Structure 1
Amino acid sequence: MIENAVTKFGTSEMTLAEKLDALRTLFAQMDRALIAYSGGVDSTLVAKVAWDVLGDRALAITAESPSLLPDDLQDAEAQAQLIGISHEIVQTHEMENPNYAANPINRCYFCKSELHDTLKPLALQRGYPYVVDGVNADDLHDYRPGIQAAKERGARSPLAEVGITKLEVRELSQQLGLPWWDKPAQPCLSSRFPYGEEITIAKLQRVGNAERYLRKLGMKNLRVRSEGDTARIELPPESIQSFVQTTDLPALVAAFQGFGFLFVTLDLEGFSSGKLNRVLGNTVQSSPTALSAS
């Protein structure tokens, strides 16, 4: 479905304005759509355009689970309210699936399976023929099993279908006046664990508490990687020196230990999206869309 739509719209030669027009056309053809809405910049752009085209015939649904920071859920609610789109929250239960909790390299397949197995019946019950997500064109070249799970359940990815990249998502969001156009990517908390380490609700909570602590210190692009009892902080390389010089490190360590970590380290390489995928080696190159970025 995605490949056919890309061919149809000829995205390689389209301007950004033409891509936006194509996106609007897609939603007009759908007539009614339910958006899998995480509150990230991608799905929020989808929700915005869907609302502009469909109005009350568009519905944004956010899945709440232990892998979602409460702060991110609040952001999603506030953004939906600003857009004007109807917004609801549903509970998902991926943590009850041992295939997910075991944290294999295709963990996100089980996450998106749970999400779309929840959204698809809801959409049909409410009279929405389409469930759409925020997958963009760049995601199709990454290694993401969740994309396959969504496709198997009939979900559509309008951004990818018209060839809109991550950079273009931000450009369009800014053009449309969305104040969160430069919002950092915030994948689910389960992406903070090395593959093969079991994920539990308690571990997710301590990671979430640690990242919230750093956010309150003014950090934006960050990750707290959890490896056993060790927290490894990743910050932008240019921020590391000032962070060390200006942060009350004993207070930070005490706080992290209060969250449940025994050891706290700082990654001197700095923040890099998908860093935990390095252990996969050539697997990432041989099978795109089979593994999520973290």
Structure 2
Amino acid sequence: MLQILKQYPSVAVAFSGGVDSTLLLYAACEALGKERVFVLRGVSELVSKRESTAAAALLRELNISSKQILEIRLYPLIWPEFITNSPERCYFCKKRMYQTFQRSLSISDDPVLLDGSNVDDLKSHRPGSRAIQEFGIKTPMLDADLNKEDIRSLAKRFHLSNHDKPSNSCLATRLLEGTEIKRKLLLTVEECEDFLLERGFSGCRVKPNGLDVVLELAENDAALLTNSPVHVEIICFFKSKGFLRVLVDLHPRI
């Protein structure tokens, strides 16, 4: 991966704060020096405040200069093709996002735009990957044949603090296909997930389904749910948010 990165005069890393983009950013700085590496952060309602704060903390941890960070405001809730929440939602989002990123880079030193895709991303249907290919975004970890296990192992080896962070995705992925993506619903999801995180559920996802809500929990969170009175708190809180039933997916999140 370092050899791949060294062929570029300068790069801009699409940074989410997940382990993939964090390792890619770390490697780019190692290969090129921090002065030749830019960081692009998309800011929108699709990213929770908790995730945005954590991403900013990682950049400080990596000693990335504020001069190298471009925070770019995105407006997905006015994109008609996105808010209908079709199976191609992620394609439309990635397309708009990378269009905006490329326009932003045209005013700088024209660095090569990088995405943190890896080999495991090819194993499932990911419409967003099509947009990455269409725009010619470079994917050094994919080109270096790195999978998720490799990435976590390398992140741990180089002492990146989020090496064991559970996989995450934008808040819109919590909504059933065909459910219109609205600001109020995204905020409800964020508040419910924050409620669970504050009570020790480290890998949770909250998925509304009409008046029901389905909790997806990491395997180590299942015991917390069944062995403590916290489930009473959960029921009360979720009902206060307008849900009638709180259901649990028995398949643990990986």
For Structure 1 versus Structure 2, the TM-score category normalised by the shorter chain is over 0.9
The answer to whether the aligner puts 1:132 opposite 2:114 as a matched pair is yes
The C-alpha deviation readout for 1:125-180, integer Å capped at 9, x for no partner, is 11133111111111022211111112211211111011110000001101111121
Equivalent of residue 189 in structure 2, options 190, 202, 207? 207
Match of 2:100 in 1: 118
Match of 2:57 in 1: 78
Once the two structures are overlaid, the 10-residue window that deviates more, 171-180 or 226-235, is: 226-235
Match of 1:45 in 2: 23
Q: Aligned letter for 1:51?
A: C
Equivalent of residue 270 in structure 1, options 235, 251, 254? 251
- SS of the aligned residue for 1:30 comes to coil
The C-alpha deviation readout for 1:174-227, integer Å capped at 9, x for no partner, is 111112101111111111111111111111000011011110011111111111
TM-score, with structure 1 as normaliser: 0.81
- SS of the aligned residue for 1:34 comes to strand
The C-alpha deviation readout for 1:89-121, integer Å capped at 9, x for no partner, is 211112211111111011000110111011011
The answer (yes or no) to whether the contact 1:94–1:110 under 8 Å persists in 2 is no
Equivalent of residue 203 in structure 2, options 217, 221, 224? 221
Q: Aligned letter for 1:265?
A: V
Question: Residues of 2 paired with 1:156 and 1:270: CA distance?
Answer: 34
Question: Residues of 1 paired with 2:24 and 2:62: CA distance?
Answer: 11
Question: Residues of 2 paired with 1:261 and 1:67: CA distance?
Answer: 21
Equivalent of residue 91 in structure 1, options 48, 73, 86? 73
Question: Residues of 2 paired with 1:105 and 1:76: CA distance?
Answer: 28
- SS of the aligned residue for 2:27 comes to helix
Matches within 5 A, 1:5-24: 23-24=1-2
Percent of residue pairs bearing the same amino acid type: 26
Deviation at 1:271, TM superposition (A): 3.0
The answer (yes or no) to whether the contact 2:94–2:131 under 8 Å persists in 1 is yes
Question: Residues of 1 paired with 2:94 and 2:137: CA distance?
Answer: 11
Q: Aligned letter for 2:165?
A: K
Deviation at 1:37, TM superposition (A): 0.4
Q: Which runs of 5+ in 1 are unaligned?
A: 1-22, 274-294
- Cα root mean square deviation, aligned: 1.5
The answer (yes or no) to whether the contact 2:203–2:221 under 8 Å persists in 1 is no
Question: Residues of 1 paired with 2:220 and 2:57: CA distance?
Answer: 31
- SS of the aligned residue for 2:107 comes to helix
Match of 2:4 in 1: 26
The answer to whether the aligner puts 1:194 opposite 2:194 as a matched pair is no
Equivalent of residue 215 in structure 2, options 233, 253, 257? 233
Q: Which runs of 5+ in 2 are unaligned?
A: none
Question: Residues of 2 paired with 1:138 and 1:248: CA distance?
Answer: 35
Deviation at 1:248, TM superposition (A): 3.0
Once the two structures are overlaid, the 10-residue window that deviates more, 217-226 or 227-236, is: 227-236
Q: Which has the higher helix share?
A: 1
Q: Aligned letter for 2:236?
A: A
Match of 1:59 in 2: 38
Question: Residues of 1 paired with 2:37 and 2:242: CA distance?
Answer: 43
The C-alpha deviation readout for 1:37-76, integer Å capped at 9, x for no partner, is 0011001111111112221110111111111011111111
Mark the CA change 1:226 to 1:185 in structure 2 (over 3 Å): closer, same or farther: same
